[in-house]
Amino acid sequence: MKKLIGAALLLGGILMTSPSVFAQNFKPDYLYFGFQNQAGSGTEDYIINLGAGSNIVGGTVVVDLSADFSRSSFNAVLGASSSMFGGVVGGLPNASGTADEYVTQFRSGGAGIPSVPGSTVTATASRAVINNAISTLNQLILPATTGQSILDTSKSWESFVEPANSASTFLGASGFNPDSPVGPSTILYEDLWYTSNNKISGANPYIYEGYFTLDLTGSNPKLTFTPKNAAAQLQPPVILSVSNIGGTATVVWSTLASYTYQLQYTTSLSPTNWINVGSALVAGGTTMTNTSAGTDPQRYYRVSAH
């Protein structure tokens, strides 16, 4: 079984614009990922057709959408800015008479456990509210085919999604701002929320469906969707803090529930001799703490997980 290690030191593709490329309104239940740059240098938006939501949500495995993302298109919109904004929206057009809506919110805390959302919905919903919100999105210039992306010089995403908080924008009509800041070398996590006709009567009609991850840290960008029913993927543990009081070190690190973690130390990195601190522990939450007593002038700590 692969073992992941976290350590700490204690020392004391762009498409050309042609009429056939564009769909002039939302396709029912399709998801669209849009990027817009509010800086004065931004002259276009970048919009991706991710396809039908039913092909993305509801599964048990991570959906790889990396082939839909174009680094060159992203960079074209980013320009000289350090960051811009991006998010996902979708739903049914107003003409359908129904009230289905997809929207993302920034996910705090990183990847975490797929079944646990990293954001909280505070917006309310009604058929009128959602239909008005989706109606504003019918004004977007959109790629017609799943996997296609366009650079929209009319900047329709910026005009009708965000930032203007008015009734003529998605943000103003729905109370949701789907866009989160994203830079050229960051990892963006966004929760996907959904509501439908039979859910809008409750106080909180939105259902968490999973989260998108856009990883721009490497040479090959990765865009994925992790459904809420996917198995939690073990991440390298991160040591959050190390303190030393009276010769006893307290080490706190990040965890995923049900995985096993072992704290280790060494007094020298050359040569290195890692020594277990107590027994391996099974995590029951998102953090774990262990203590290590000793009289060594210095210790180096790490945590292994499996």
Q: DSSP string covering 166-227, please? A: STTSHHHHHS----EEE-TT-EEEEEEEEE-GGGTTSSS--EEEEEEEEE-SSSS-EEEEEE
Q: Determine whether 21 is exposed, middle or buried from the number of CB atoms within 10 Å of its CB (0-12, 13-18, 19+).
A: middle
- Do 197 and 180 lie in one domain? The reply is yes
- 8 located within any domain: no
Q: What is the pLDDT of residue 99?
A: 67
User: Which of 191, 207, 227 is where one domain is finished?
Assistant: 227
- Do 102 and 167 lie in one domain? The reply is yes
User: Which of 212, 227, 242 is where one domain is finished?
Assistant: 227
Residues in the chain: 306
- Do 196 and 157 lie in one domain? The reply is yes
With beta carbons less than 8 A apart as the criterion, state whether 17 and 150 touch.
yes
CATH classification at residue 272:
2.60.40.10
Question: At 137, which helix (H) or strand (E)?
Answer: helix 127-137
pLDDT, tens only, 194-246: 987 666 665 668 899 999 999 998 889 999 999 999 987 777 888 999 998 98
Q: What is the pLDDT of residue 3?
A: 58
- Do 221 and 243 lie in one domain? The reply is no
- Do 144 and 186 lie in one domain? The reply is yes
Taking the C-alpha atoms of residue 119 and residue 71, their distance in angstroms, rounded to an integer, is 27
Q: What is the pLDDT of residue 165?
A: 63
Taking the C-alpha atoms of residue 92 and residue 176, their distance in angstroms, rounded to an integer, is 16
- Do 111 and 212 lie in one domain? The reply is yes
Q: What is the pLDDT of residue 286?
A: 78
Among 83, 66, 101, which residue's Cα sits nearest to residue 215? 66
> By residue range, what is the domain housing residue 238?
234-305
How do 4-10 and 101-106 pair as beta strands? unpaired
Q: What is the pLDDT of residue 204?
A: 64
Q: What is the pLDDT of residue 5?
A: 59
Residues of the chain with confidence (pLDDT) below 50: 1, 9-21, 94
- 6 located within any domain: no
- Do 216 and 240 lie in one domain? The reply is no
User: Which of 196, 227, 258 is where one domain is finished?
Assistant: 227
- Do 71 and 149 lie in one domain? The reply is yes
- Do 118 and 175 lie in one domain? The reply is yes
Number of domains in the chain: 2
- 3 located within any domain: no
- 2 located within any domain: no
Placement of tokens 């129904």 in the chain = 98
Taking the C-alpha atoms of residue 262 and residue 2, their distance in angstroms, rounded to an integer, is 14
Q: What is the pLDDT of residue 174?
A: 84
Q: What is the pLDDT of residue 16?
A: 36
Cis peptide preceding 271, ω within 30 of 0: yes
- Do 74 and 103 lie in one domain? The reply is yes
- Do 41 and 73 lie in one domain? The reply is yes
- 189 located within any domain: yes
Question: At 263, which helix (H) or strand (E)?
Answer: strand 260-266
**Distance from chain centroid for Cα 158:** 20
- Do 160 and 243 lie in one domain? The reply is no
